[in-house]
Structure 1
Amino acid sequence: MNISFTTINKDNILSILPLLSIINTKTPPDILKERVVEMGNCPNYECVAVFDEDKMIGICGLWYSTRHYLGRSVEPDHVIISEAYRGKGLGKLFFNWIYEYTKGKGCEAMELNTYSTNTKSHKFYYNEGFNIYAFHFAKILREDQKFY
C-alpha cells in the first residue's frame, strides 16, 4: 500500500459519490449529487480523502464553524473507508492527519455525529478520545416528512 491524504478540489467533488453512496443508501442518487455539488460550493466545507496510489479509498467531509461553547471547531462528516481497507489502522492514520490538518487551520475542537446504530464507529470514536456531550436531533421540514 502507498497511502496518502489530501484535500479534494471543489471542481472534483463528485469523485466522492461512489464512497458516499456506500453509507448513504436512502437519498436518491440525483438528490445526493445535487447536495454534494452544493456542499462543495459552501465556504465552510471541504472534503479530504485517503488514497492508495491513485485509488480513493476513504473520504471525510469537514465543516468549519465557531461555536460559543467550543471556539473554532471542525465537524467531520460522512467518514468512510472502503471495506477492503478496513481493519488495517487507516481510520486512525486518517484521523491523525485530520487532527493536524485542522489544528493547522486554527481549530480548537472537533465534534461529530454518528448514527446510533453504527456501533463500530462508536468504539472507534471512544478510542480516539471523543466523549458524548449531547444528542443530535433532526426534524424534517419537507412535506413528505422522510429522512433522505
Structure 2
Amino acid sequence: MNYQFKILSNEELEKIVPLVYELNNAKISLDILKSRFNEMKDQNYECAVITIDEDVIGVAGMWFCTRHYMGKSVELDHVYIQSEHRGNGLGKQFMAWVNTYVKEKGCNSIELNTYVQNYPSHKFYYNEGFQVLGYHFLKKI
C-alpha cells in the first residue's frame, strides 16, 4: 500500500471525525465531535494523519506546550489506525514519523494517555520506548 504521513490543515480537520468516532465507540456524537474539533483549531493543536490516496486511515492529534518538568513537549491524543491497516508495522512507521516531526518543532518529549483496558496499545507504547509516569485523573464538573 502507498501510505503517506502528513499534517492535516485546520480546514481539513473534519476528515478525522469518523476515525475519532470509531475510536470512542460512538460514545460521542458526530455533531459534538465536529464542534469540538472546530474549537481545537485555535488551541495549539495539530493533527498528523496516515492517508491512502486522499482517504484518512490513521490519526494522531498533537497538543504542543511547555511543561515545567520537561520543557517543550507534545501530548498525543486520539491515536488511531483503522483495524484493517494494523499489524503490518504501520503504527511503528507512523510513530517514527511523528517523532521526527515533533523533534523538528523543538520538542523534548512525547506524552500520551491510553485507556486502562486497551492492553494492545500498552504493549505497543512500551515497545516504542514509552514509560508509565503517573496516573491520569478525570473529574467531570
Q: Which bracket does the TM-score occupy, shorter chain normalised?
A: over 0.9
1:146 corresponding residue in structure 2: none
Q: Secondary structure at the match of 2:117?
A: coil
Aligned equivalents of 2:130 and 2:54: distance in 1? 31
Aligned equivalents of 2:104, 2:78: Cα separation in 1: 21
- Equivalent AA in structure 2 for residue 35 of structure 1: R
**3-state SS in 1 of match to 2:112:** coil
Runs of 4+ with deviation above 4 angstroms: none
- 2:109 paired with 1:105: no
- TM-score, normalised on structure 1? 0.92
Instruction: Find out whether 1:20 has 2:20 as its counterpart.
Output: yes
Q: Secondary structure at the match of 1:115?
A: coil
Residues paired across the two proteins, number: 140
TM-score, structure 2 as length reference: 0.96
Q: Provide the C-alpha distance between the structure 2 equivalents of 1:83 and 1:40, rounded to a whole number of angstroms.
A: 27
Unaligned regions of 5+ residues in structure 2, if any?
A: none
Q: Does 1:134 align with 2:134?
A: yes
Aligned partner of residue 94 in structure 1, secondary structure? helix
Q: Matched residues in 1 for 2:42 and 2:3: separation?
A: 27
Q: Which amino acid aligns with 1:13?
A: L
1:28-79 C-alpha deviation (Å, 9 max, x unpaired)? 222111111111232x100010012222110010000100111100011000
- The residue matched to 2:76 in structure 1 has which SS? strand
The equivalent of 2:45 in structure 1 is: 45
